[in-house]
Amino acid sequence: MEANNRKDFVWQYTALAAIFAAVFALTCVVIGLATDKVAAYSVKGVFVLFRKTPVYWLILLITMLVPVITYFLSRYYARQMSELQQVHDEDQERLGLISKYSQQLIAENYEVDFPLSGDNDQLGKSLLELRDALKVTRDNNLKIRKEEEQRSWIAESLAHFSEILRNNLHDPQLLSFSVIKDLTKYINAVQGGFYLLDDTDPYNKVFNLTAFFAYDRRKFTDQQIKWGDGLIGTCALEQKIIHLKQIPESYITVTSGLGEANPNNLLIIPMQYENQIYGVLEFASFNKFESGHIALAEKTAESVASTLSAVRTNLKTAQLLEESKAQTQALTSHEEEMRQNMEELQATQEEATRQSQRFLILEESINQNLIRAEFDTDGRLISANGLFFEKFEFSSDMNIVGKPISELVSAENRDWLKGVWNKLIHDHEPFRGYIKHVTRTGKNLWTIATLSAAKKEDGSVEKFILLSVDTSAERIQIEKNELIVGSFTNTCIKAELDINGNLQDCNENFIKLFKLSQKEIKSLVIFDIIHPIELEAFNKKWDAIIKGIGMPALLRGKTTQGEEIWLNGSFDVVHNMAHEIQSVVFVGHDITHEKELETEVKIQSETLKKQEKLIKEAEKELTTKLRETRNELLGQFRETERIKNFNEKTLEDSPDAIVTTSHDNRIVFFNKAAEQLWKTDRKEVLNEDVSVLFPEHLTDKDELLASFIRPGDHKITGQRKNSTIIDKTGKEKKVKVLLTKARVDNENAFTAFIQID
């Protein structure tokens, strides 16, 4: 109430009181004169009346006091009204600020601040915390979307280059130009060069510039660089990417119709496959190379190297085939039939080699991106890849074979793991989900994992395979979010109930609000604090809640002293690991004093619910994508196992004797033809050193056999030579031996193809 209005109000009521008092006094005098037999209607009569009846003096005093009392009372009332009006105006202004700030959050304007009314402004602090949480969620979604777009772009680009490699497999010149032209454009470079390694002379290796592309034009230039010379030779020698952001002015110059300019960014990538260099790619740019561009160039270089490796293998195979044809021309008709069989075998071997190559590439990709481990039926480790050793903090020289899987899981999840393992053993039901591991040093490691059984041909379980992805970073973020929720809970009223409504736990705010004693806390039921008028409606809500439906709630309750309170919050259901309802949690705020603002608060609550729904939908979409990724990886793994079984069966039925050794020279494969050649059962030689097949007096004279039984990777491969072997009966047999090498799990494996001469 304004000052002028307040004065008018006071004087108005004072004047009315004065008039009322005067009228009352005059009426009393008139009545007294009319009833008195002596006093007349005159001034003298009035004096006679006052002298005879002293009560009229009291009436006169009251007449004078009433206006004065009315003045002070109206003044006090006007002041109280003014103060109430001021409080109401402040509340309206605060409500307007909250409404405007909520609209800013709806518009995703997370940079605006909300002014706090004081240190105790819990609602304002909650709005700021909500803003920060929404901002983090938005930033995370943008980051994830950007990473997905980059991965999609890289995948599409790699598919394009794979098509180029397939179409130009037999034309190295066109292949090199097509690759360097498109890759230069893809990574926004202004110049690119394709250097192919010529290692015909092992003592004089050189890189020939087979393709050069700049400024959307094909360039022709002759350039040859020796192994180890300059940046090109250094990149190949060290087998590492070179990325320079400052290039000497004299190193490279780009010429266009507008003049000459010096690029300031240089990227040199080795074309490497199985630790062997096939060439080098060089790119120059005026702008900084982005991480996605570098990743695409690196993967493309690896694909080109793989293709070049396959081309070399095919050329060698073709050369061997030509030699075989030249020899068979001198044979008899019986030998002609044998030659035809050999050609069919050669075709089978080539197909097996291609299938094995695809399998090795896929297996290498899995080992580079997924944690992989194999366990026997007792849950003990059989083998694991390098990423497993890295994530679980085991060094490569540690022997962890036989380690129980339970020791790789955190202590609190070991009982749960027993149940999962029993389902795998008895029902062959694979597991897919989160696992909390523990590393060698005691650190927690969270993964999204699949645990499935690998079966034999008779349907029995041979082993169990674990494939997982490290999600520890995401788990840390979840724990941070839980800390934020915990901080928010400390400012709210929180209670945890069982499905019967019995109070299991509550915070101090809940105890203070309902004024509970320790004895009352132990025996309190949620229905005891609900206002009797609201009990029927609350019972219906409770029936829905204990069925697993979380819902917001506006509760009208009462304290133990009968005082009425209002709570605005929500009920959420907590499930245990068996997906059973464990408890019901209520979190809310005391809104007793803000009840008159119910309409505005309801609008804000609806807005917040929409935001929460959008976040949950985003989380659901992310979960769906993760599930699809896991299914895709599982399908790739099954296809890999199928190809592996097919290759092993093909090699088993091969007419040539085939012996495969691991990196430690132990025999891991011994087919039927090898059993017949040596006249020995494979069970007697599997897992034995390969030297048991070749006596010392034979290896002393045969360099190829000597290299085969010698430990290490320095063996004579890719050459078919005449040799002699001795079977179990002591009989010597003339044979032809071809030794090949394959890279499996970052270790070399060697296979000998032995044909009776």
- The most confident of the ranges 61-70, 593-602, 608-617, 733-742 is 733-742
- In three-state secondary structure terms, 570 is strand
Tell me phi and psi for residue 280, to 5 degrees: -140, 140
- In three-state secondary structure terms, 553 is strand
Q: Which pLDDT score is estimated for 430? A: 84
Residue 528 CB neighbour total at 10 angstroms? 14
Q: Which pLDDT score is estimated for 137? A: 80
Q: Which CATH number is correct for 654-756, 3.90.1640.10, 2.30.30.230, 3.40.190.10, 3.30.450.20?
A: 3.30.450.20
pTM for this model (two decimals): 0.33
CA distances from 472 to 469, 585, 592 (A): 9, 28, 43
Q: Which pLDDT score is estimated for 252? A: 60
pLDDT (tens digit, 9 = 90+) per residue, 135-188? 778 778 777 787 777 777 778 777 887 887 777 777 777 888 888 888 888 888
CB hemisphere CA count around 47 (13 angstroms): 2
pLDDT (tens digit, 9 = 90+) per residue, 497-513? 888 888 888 888 888 88
Question: Strand pairing partners for 564?
Answer: 558
pLDDT (tens digit, 9 = 90+) per residue, 734-748? 888 888 887 766 777
Does residue 207 contact residue 235 with C-beta atoms inside 8 Å? no
pLDDT (tens digit, 9 = 90+) per residue, 91-118? 677 777 777 767 776 776 766 776 766 6
Of 708, 711, 733, 709, which is closest to residue 722 (Cα–Cα)? Answer: 733
pLDDT (tens digit, 9 = 90+) per residue, 703-725? 888 888 888 778 888 888 888 88
Percentage of residues in the chain having pLDDT higher than 90: 1
- Packing angle between helix 122-167 and helix 55-106, nearest 10 degrees? 10
Q: Is residue 459 left, alpha or beta, with left meaning phi > 0 and alpha meaning psi from -120 to 50?
A: left
pLDDT (tens digit, 9 = 90+) per residue, 330-370? 666 666 666 676 777 777 777 767 766 666 666 666 666 78
pLDDT at 259 exceeding the cut of 50: no
What CATH class does 370-476 carry?
alpha beta
Q: What is the mean pLDDT of the chain?
A: 77
Can you read off the two tokens belonging to residue 273?
A: 């496959």
Q: Which pLDDT score is estimated for 3? A: 59
Can you read off the two tokens belonging to residue 550?
A: 């979380």
The arithmetic mean of pLDDT across residues 590-603, rounded, is: 66
Can you read off the two tokens belonging to residue 606?
A: 């609806």
Can you read off the two tokens belonging to residue 296?
A: 């695409």
- Determine which helix (DSSP H) or strand (DSSP E) holds 617, and give its type and residue range: helix 598-652
Confidence of residue 592 (pLDDT cuts 50, 70, 90): confident
pLDDT (tens digit, 9 = 90+) per residue, 57-80? 777 777 778 778 888 887 777 777
Question: Strand pairing partners for 446?
Answer: 436
pLDDT at 217 exceeding the cut of 50: no
Confidence of residue 377 (pLDDT cuts 50, 70, 90): confident
Per-residue HEC secondary structure of 666-725 comes to: EEEEECHHHHHHHCCCHHHCCCCEHHHHCCHHHHCCCHHHHHHHCCCCCCCCCCEEEEEE
pLDDT (tens digit, 9 = 90+) per residue, 461-500? 878 888 888 887 777 776 676 666 566 556 678 888 888 8
Does residue 256 contact residue 215 with C-beta atoms inside 8 Å? yes
Confidence of residue 443 (pLDDT cuts 50, 70, 90): confident
Percentage of residues in the chain having pLDDT higher than 70: 80
Beta-strand relationship, 657-661 and 503-506: unpaired
pLDDT at 220 exceeding the cut of 60: no
What CATH class does 150-308 carry?
alpha beta
Q: Which pLDDT score is estimated for 204? A: 86
Question: Residue 42 is which amino acid?
Answer: S
How far apart CA 319 and CA 744 sit, in angstroms, is: 26
Least confident of 89-93, 276-280, 732-736: 89-93
Percent of residues in the chain assigned helix, strand, coil, to nearest 5:
55, 25, 25
Least confident of 299-308, 390-399, 447-456, 478-487: 478-487
Q: Which CATH number is correct for 491-593, 3.30.450.20, 3.40.1390.10, 1.10.3720.10, 3.40.50.300?
A: 3.30.450.20
pLDDT at 674 exceeding the cut of 60: yes
Least confident of 44-58, 270-284, 571-585, 701-715: 44-58
